[in-house]
Amino acid sequence: MVVPITHFNAQTRIRRKRTLPAEGQILVRRDQNVNAMDSVGTCYLPGRHEMVDLYQALGLSRKTPLDTITDRKAGETLQKGDVLAKTGKVFKRIVRAPGDCYIDSIEDGKALLEILDSPIELKAGIDGIIREVTPNWSVVIETFGCLIQGVWGNGKMASGLLYNTAKTETEEFTRSCVDVTMRGAVVAGGFCLHQDALEAAFDFSLRGLILSSISSHLIGYVQQLEIPVILLEGFGAIPFNPLAFQLFEKYDRNDASVNACEWDVYRGERPEVVIPLPGSGADPREGGHIRQGTRVRVMVPPYTGAVGIVVQIREGSTTIHSGLRGECADVKFDRIPTTSFPVSNLDILE
């Protein structure tokens, strides 16, 4: 069976495309170095609309020719306070733009204005070099380094010094794991079951949190946090997988960028941590077969998060403990006995 691969890769080439949600302006050029929090593009999203009746606002009859009160045309962009229309007599009356706006249309003396909100900024998300630019739309950023992919994120993005608080894979992330020396850092911890530990992230001004898992009752709180939170395993008391833990130990106090986007299985955007490193690396594989020798992770109980090696793909359909039947693989682990799992409960780790 071919399945997507989750990456816990110490050294690889990482290329990420960043695309504006609407046509706008790309602020960087090819081969330019960027930091994770740099803006690489900007655009306006469709704003709210306002209808201004020019005749009514000027107190004029609708028989007045429109070109005597305004020379504005559809398609023009105005700044707040710009004259939209005016009477030309001694006692002038003026209608001004209520905000920075775009004139959608002027018909029958009524101007339909689209009020332009603040432009949105497209962040680089990783430290790297701009490799491709599609004018007005997108860039491709490339870097080399460590790539750690998660399964859930709260939609935020940040970067900072990585600070690993977990001394073992199975350690719980509690309030006592965080202190003032971690201010401005991206903190990696184990599983989190209590809200006070997450409140500490706010109290000590952390830049981001990388956790193995959280209790599902904390989802609402995490979604409201201003800092990015990435879960590498999911929900419950699931320890770090050994690969992730080794990487956090190895790259403790390195710069890391955290993109805690929602996992979009269709577009392949995943929550991820990137630690830029000198050197080069090959492109990571995106999909692969589960077969003998493949390193896999168990995604649901029993043994959620355990990482092992497939020793055998069983012939045909096998009855599993729940009584259901399916294609199964026997997986060998370091610390638990070799166990058979439905292949659909495994993902490939590389």
Partner 1 sequence: MSIPFTKVSSFLGIDIGSCNTRGALFDQVNGQYHFLSAASAPTSIIHPFRNINDGLLQALLELQESSAHALLDDTSHLILPSLADGSGVDGLVVTFSAGDTLRILTLGLLQDYSAKSAKKLASFIPGCQVISLDLAGTPRRVDQLDAIISSEPDIILLAGGTDHGAINAIQQLEDVIVQACKSFPPEKIPTVIFAGNPTLVEEMVDRFQNVARFFAASNIRPEVNREDLTSGMEVLAQVVREKRTRQFEGFQNLQKICSTPPIPTSYGLDRIIRYLSMRYPSSKGVLGVDLGGTATTIISAQQGVSEMSVTAYGSGTGLKPFLENHTYEQVTRWLPDPSAIEAAPDYLWQKSLHPQAVPATTETLDIEQAAAREILHESMLTHFEQAGFRQASFELILASGSMLTRTPQPGEALLMILDGIQPVGISSIILDKNGLSSILGAAAPINSMIPVQIIDSSAYTNLATVISPIAKAKPGTPILRVSIDYGQSSVTRLDIKMGSLVAFPLPPGQTANIIMEPARGVVIDPFRKANGFKVYGGLCGVVIDARGRPLVLPKEDDLRKQTLQHWASILGA
Q: Applying CB under 8 A, which residues contact partner 1?
A: 1-4, 22-23, 46, 48-51, 104-105, 112, 114, 151-152, 215-217, 219, 234-236, 263-268, 286-287, 299-302, 304, 320-324, 326, 341-342, 344-345, 347
For 117-154, give the DSSP string: -PPEEEE--SSEEEEEEETTTEEEEEEEEEEEE-SEE-
Measured CA to CA, the distance from residue 80 to residue 94 in angstroms comes to 13
Choose between 46 and 81: whose C-beta lies nearer to partner 1. 46
Nearest distance, CB of residue 163 and partner 1, angstroms: 26
Nearest distance, CB of residue 301 and partner 1, angstroms: 5
Choose between 88 and 287: whose C-beta lies nearer to partner 1. 287
Choose between 204 and 235: whose C-beta lies nearer to partner 1. 235
CA distances from 350 to 11, 74, 168, 214, 307 (A): 11, 55, 21, 24, 11
Classify strands 272-276 and 138-149 as parallel, antiparallel or unpaired.
Answer: antiparallel
Measured CA to CA, the distance from residue 227 to residue 154 in angstroms comes to 8
Choose between 37 and 219: whose C-beta lies nearer to partner 1. 219
Nearest distance, CB of residue 47 and partner 1, angstroms: 8
Nearest distance, CB of residue 22 and partner 1, angstroms: 5
Do residues 162 and 42 lie in contact, with contact meaning Cβ atoms separated by under 8 Å?
Answer: no
For 36-73, give the DSSP string: TTSEEEEEPPP--EEEEEHHHHHT--TTS-GGGT----
Choose between 277 and 288: whose C-beta lies nearer to partner 1. 288
- The one-letter amino acid code at 267 reads R
CA distances from 234 to 96, 209, 218, 238, 274 (A): 53, 14, 12, 7, 19
Nearest distance, CB of residue 186 and partner 1, angstroms: 22
Do residues 258 and 158 lie in contact, with contact meaning Cβ atoms separated by under 8 Å?
Answer: yes
| Residues pairing with 33 in the sheet | 129
Measured CA to CA, the distance from residue 182 to residue 116 in angstroms comes to 39
Nearest distance, CB of residue 48 and partner 1, angstroms: 5
Nearest distance, CB of residue 86 and partner 1, angstroms: 23
Measured CA to CA, the distance from residue 23 to residue 120 in angstroms comes to 11
Choose between 51 and 282: whose C-beta lies nearer to partner 1. 51
Measured CA to CA, the distance from residue 341 to residue 299 in angstroms comes to 10
Nearest distance, CB of residue 152 and partner 1, angstroms: 6
Nearest distance, CB of residue 256 and partner 1, angstroms: 23
Return the biggest CA–CA distance within the chain.
94
The candidate with the shortest Cα–Cα distance to 4, out of 213, 145, 151, 154, is 151
Choose between 91 and 266: whose C-beta lies nearer to partner 1. 266
Choose between 279 and 316: whose C-beta lies nearer to partner 1. 316
Residue 53 CB neighbour total at 10 angstroms: 13
DSSP code, position 269:
B
Choose between 62 and 285: whose C-beta lies nearer to partner 1. 285
